[in-house]
Chains A and B, each alone.
Chain A
Amino acid sequence: MINNIETYLYIAVFLFAIGLYGVLARRSLIAVLISVELMLNAAMINFMAFNRFLAPHPAVGQICALFIMAVAAAEAAIGLSIIVAIYRKMKTINVEHATELRG
């Protein structure tokens, strides 16, 4: 089980789905951001799994994972700053309140 790639891939898929659920279901923008992070982690697990079981060179997948982390960090920074800004402007971070643009 531990040495089976499928296990990891399914874990990733499951994590991805949970993250997606969070993105779709949560009202708080911060929670949505958290869910996105989960999805990114799922992708990371994929990379690492492939790296471990399939790739010709084990460095590549790890590098991918590292970069994803960096990107995720950047994303979190921007996302959080925008969330803070939206809170300042609208006094709420409930995504359902941002309903001015439609149609």
Chain B
Amino acid sequence: MSAWFSDLTLLGCFLCMVLPIASFGLIMIFTRNNHKLSLAISLLCSTIPLIIAWSLLYKYWDIAEPIVYNYDWILSDFIKIPFGFLLDPTSLLMLTIVATISWLVQIYSIGYMEGDPGFGNYYAFLSLFALSMLGVSISSGLLQLYICWELVGVSSYLLIGFWYEKFSASEAGKKAFVVTRFGDVGFFMGLAILTIFYGNLEIANINSAAVAQSMPPWLISTAALLIFCGVMGKSAQFPLHVWLPDAMEGPTPVSALLHSATMVAAGVFLIARIYPFFSASPEAMAVALAIGTITLLLSSTIGMVATDIKQVWAYSTVSQLGFMIMGLAAGSYFAGYFHLTTHAGFKALLFLCSGVFIHHFGTNDFFVMAAKGGRKLIIPMVTITIAALALSGIFPFSGFFSKEAILGALYHHPNKIWFLMGLLGAFLTAYYTFRVIFVMLFPKNPAPEEQHGHDEPHEEHYGVPWVMSIPLLVLATFTLILGFCQGYLERFLLGHTLHHEHNYLLLVSAVVAALSGIGLAWIDWGSKKAKCVGFISYVPALENFFKEKWYMDHFWRWFLNVFIYGTFSRLFTYNDRRVVDGGVDTVAFSTIGSGRLLSFFQTALLQLNLLFMVVVVAGVGLYLLIGR
């Protein structure tokens, strides 16, 4: 035990795990109804990990060998599950991202959630999330990662369904949990296969070259693909992406933290985490690339037609996650991971800004917000624009650099189709992003004054509480500077800087794609003459298709109703009632019935009874006599 305290790194990791759960437990059990105290506990327990994360990042900036701490969590026979921490660049970076954003969101929530009766619970759930996400980052074994991963799912479930009186919220929470669970089962199966082969799920082992050689290739592919199922679930990849837009039912800070910046990035992180193993399977890489691409395009197109601001960002998140996966699957570990980092910053920013609007105007529809004078909220409007620029990949914002990296990776892929698709994605992204921005900035039909009548005192100040604006500013700063840290991060993550061959074709095509997207948005939405209808509405069928979200929700609903409830559940229930249970009852009743039948032998007629008796005696006697 003393080792835990003498080694500060270990103590730090340990505290990262223990503090949030302590906070969760304390708040849930004792201080749920005391909002101030709950807040204090929760903030304390998220500030310390923040400090730890940054100091660890600082301390191990030049880390060469991963630092591993392993303790036995379970020692069964074949299955040995360690509990431990793995500190290497991948985990340290993620740790920092998570700690930072969750700290910011906690600060932000002070303002956002003020006065909510479930304030205490909210912070407890945030702590639970912090625990699980930090755990995902620094787990030393895949199984520990899986456990935290599941806990992430649970906290997501709890937070999405935070306003559980709303049917849509509770439904969305359930949907999120079940759909991600769908992927997780695959993940778990993959883990099971790996365990059966190695009996050990230490990430360091799995990533070692020996593993890839000792395992038959088909099995590696199977395992990798199964694990990829988990990624699809958590990172909302097609076709399991359907939960994420619905997850926007939760409070907006939650969306910022979980459903854009960190939790959904866990899937991408997982691939990055076991990248050497994952990339050992070309099939898995190919599938991932395809899935990522489909996701990118699909969600971008849906994002083009959504009117709920959070929905737009949600689909944008999905598409960016697809983009990250593309990057990783195209062979560039750094590109994917770098995009994850930058995306965490600007997407959290986007959500938090939107949160301010939503909080202020009490609506999610950005047309309404614009009409109500959304642009008068200066700080949020500026920061959201910065974030939008980053998202669209405009220089010098962080998104530009990371997108460039991914497109670069795609460009080097032998099949150029992926690159083109990436460009198309970038174009669409820019388009739908600026659709929102232009609508907000240049409202076409300001709402009539009389509508504002009773909201008058509200209208007077367009100020934002500092607890909400500070995180915005911090994140905006990150968005501005992170892009220029590319080189440092490369060295940190890869141990060396990549050799950048400046491919102007690449650069130009990316910029052109982004700018043309913005331009088209300007034409459609921004300019004075804009008709405020998307270009896509010229093809009504397609627009409808997008509006219906490619019918994916319908598909899943249908699948659930027809297969799960309609077929299996009903059949099994019927079988249970009628066949299994009915069989048992039939046996019982026929026993009773046979009793009734046999009781007729006990006639009231003495001589008939005697007759039976004699016949039996004679029968037994004859049987015995003839038998020998």
Contact, chains A and B (beta carbon distance below 8 A): yes
Q: Per a CB cutoff under 8 Å, which of A23, A100, A102, A103 touches B607?
A: A23
Q: Which residues of A contact B605 (CB under 8 A)?
A: 95-96, 99
Q: What is the number of residues of chain A that contact chain B, defined by CB distance less than 8 Å? A: 13
**Is A90 in the interface zone, CB < 8 Å from B?**
no
* B607–A95 CB distance below 8 A: yes
Q: Per a CB cutoff under 8 Å, which of B602, B610, B611, B614 touches A103?
A: B602
* B607–A24 CB distance below 8 A: yes
Residues 575-608 of chain B: 1 if any A CB is under 8 Å from the residue's CB, otherwise 0? 0000000000000000000000001001111110
Q: Which residues of A contact B602 (CB under 8 A)?
A: 102-103
At the interface, is chain B mostly helix, strand, loop or mixed? helix
Q: Per a CB cutoff under 8 Å, which of A20, A32, A100, A102 touches B603?
A: A102
**Is A1 in the interface zone, CB < 8 Å from B?**
no
Q: What is the number of residues of chain B that contact chain A, defined by CB distance less than 8 Å? A: 10
Q: Could you tell me which residues of chain A, from 78 to 103, have a CB within 8 Å of some CB in chain B? A: 95-96, 98-103
Q: Per a CB cutoff under 8 Å, which of A23, A100, A101 touches B610?
A: A23
**Is A11 in the interface zone, CB < 8 Å from B?**
no
Q: How long is the Cα–Cα vector from A100 to B606 in the complex, in angstroms?
A: 11
The distance from the CB of B511 to the nearest CB of chain A, in whole angstroms, is 99
Q: Which residues of A contact B607 (CB under 8 A)?
A: 23-25, 32, 95-96
* A103–B606 CB distance below 8 A: no
Q: Which residues of B contact A98 (CB under 8 A)?
A: 604, 606
A20: nearest chain-B partner, CB-CB? B614
Q: How long is the Cα–Cα vector from A100 to B607 in the complex, in angstroms?
A: 14
Q: Which residues of B contact A20 (CB under 8 A)?
A: 614
Q: Per a CB cutoff under 8 Å, which of B599, B603, B604, B611 touches A24?
A: B611
B607: nearest chain-A partner, CB-CB? A24
Q: Could you tell me which residues of chain A, from 15 to 46, have a CB within 8 Å of some CB in chain B? A: 20, 23-25, 32
A100: nearest chain-B partner, CB-CB? B604
Query: Lowest 5 CB-CB distances: which A-B pairs, in order?
Result: A99-B604, A102-B604, A103-B599, A24-B607, A95-B606
Which chain B residues have a beta carbon within 8 Å of chain A's beta carbons? 599, 602-607, 610-611, 614
Which chain A residues have a beta carbon within 8 Å of chain B's beta carbons? 20, 23-25, 32, 95-96, 98-103
Given contact pairs A24-B611, A32-B607, A98-B604, enumerate 14 new A-B contacts (beta carbons under 8 Å).
A20-B614, A23-B607, A23-B610, A24-B607, A24-B614, A25-B607, A95-B605, A95-B606, A96-B605, A99-B605, A100-B604, A102-B603, A103-B599, A103-B602
